[in-house]
Amino acid sequence: MPDDPTKPRKSDAVSARAERDEALPQAKTSTSEDVAAFVAKARALSPHAPGAKGRLIFALDATMSRQPTWDMACALQADMFREAAALGSLDIRLVYYRGYNECRATGWISDSGKLATLMSKIDCRGGDTQIGRVLTDARHEAVTSGVRAVVFVGDAMEERVDALCAKAGELGMLKVPVFLFQEGHDAVAEQAFREIARLTGGAWCRFDPGAAAQLRELLRAAAAYAAGGREALLRLAKTAHGAAQLIGQMK
């Protein structure tokens, strides 16, 4: 992925690199042997061990309808780092999809300013959802990088729900919860998001369009979990409604 996101190409203004981002592969169905091997390797890595650095995948729907929420997420992402700072440290991997068959991910970022700058260079484009590719990337990173949690922010689901649930089940086996924050009231998306949350041991929460305060609380809660685990989320739940919403669903 050559190119710089600030220098448009003839055919694609920002579809190339964003801070050394990578195009994610098409999602594929895994065999039971694949899953067993990944689970064994993940357990050996012990990403949830005390003192391990928190790692969070921050996945966003960047299709055309998402521009207002993308801008809001740009403004709020620093709150995730601030929440995690009190517990240790946090690395974030930004994953986003947009346009025709474009799904990309950055490397691991530990500085909120760097992430904000990167996000400000990405524009939203019309296209279908690619949640399957997000889950595939999360599964890979759960083993290779020790991901503790996945946050997904979106408003729609246009894929085969059974295929998404199969991938969510693999993340559940790897003990990587997915926190799905839905904007709006799309019933199809809600059904799928709730099931992904259930299968991964995560949580689903709705926030109102343009409700920055709601989204801020939810992102802070997810960051607390990624940095400090369930105990950190339980402590935050005593004073923060967003954390209480998440912990109330997690098993």
Closest CA to 135 of 175, 95, 107: 95
pLDDT at 28 over 60: no
pLDDT in tens, 73-99: 999 999 999 888 888 889 999 999 999
Mean pLDDT to the nearest integer, 8-26: 52
Confidence band of 30 (pLDDT split at 50, 70, 90): low
Q: What is the dihedral of CA 136, 109, 107, 87, to 10 degrees?
A: -40
pLDDT in tens, 195-238: 999 999 999 999 998 899 999 999 999 999 999 999 999 999 99
Q: Check: CB of residue 148 under 8 Å from CB of residue 229.
A: yes
DSSP string, the chain: --S-TTS--SS-SS-S-SSS-EEPPPP-PPPHHHHHHHHHHHHHH-TTSTTPPEEEEEEEE-SGGGHHHHHHHHHHHHHHHHHHHTTS-EEEEEEEEETTTEEEE---B--HHHHHHHHHT---------HHHHHHHHHHHHHHT---EEEEEES---S-HHHHHHHHHHHHHTT--EEEEEES--HHHHHHHHHHHHHHT-EEEEE-TT-HHHHHHHHHHHHHHHHHHHHHHHHHHTT-HHHHHHHHH--
pLDDT of residue 52: 60
pLDDT in tens, 110-128: 999 999 999 999 999 999 9
pTM: 0.82
The rounded percent of the chain whose pLDDT value lies above 70 is 81
pLDDT at 31 over 90: no
pLDDT of residue 203: 97
- The CA-CA-CA angle for residues 108, 15, 95, to 5°, reads 30
Cα–Cα distance for residue pair 30/245, rounded to 1 Å? 32
Q: Check: CB of residue 148 under 8 Å from CB of residue 51.
A: no
Task: Quote the mean pLDDT of the chain.
Answer: 85
Q: Check: CB of residue 233 under 8 Å from CB of residue 87.
A: no
Q: Check: CB of residue 80 under 8 Å from CB of residue 220.
A: yes
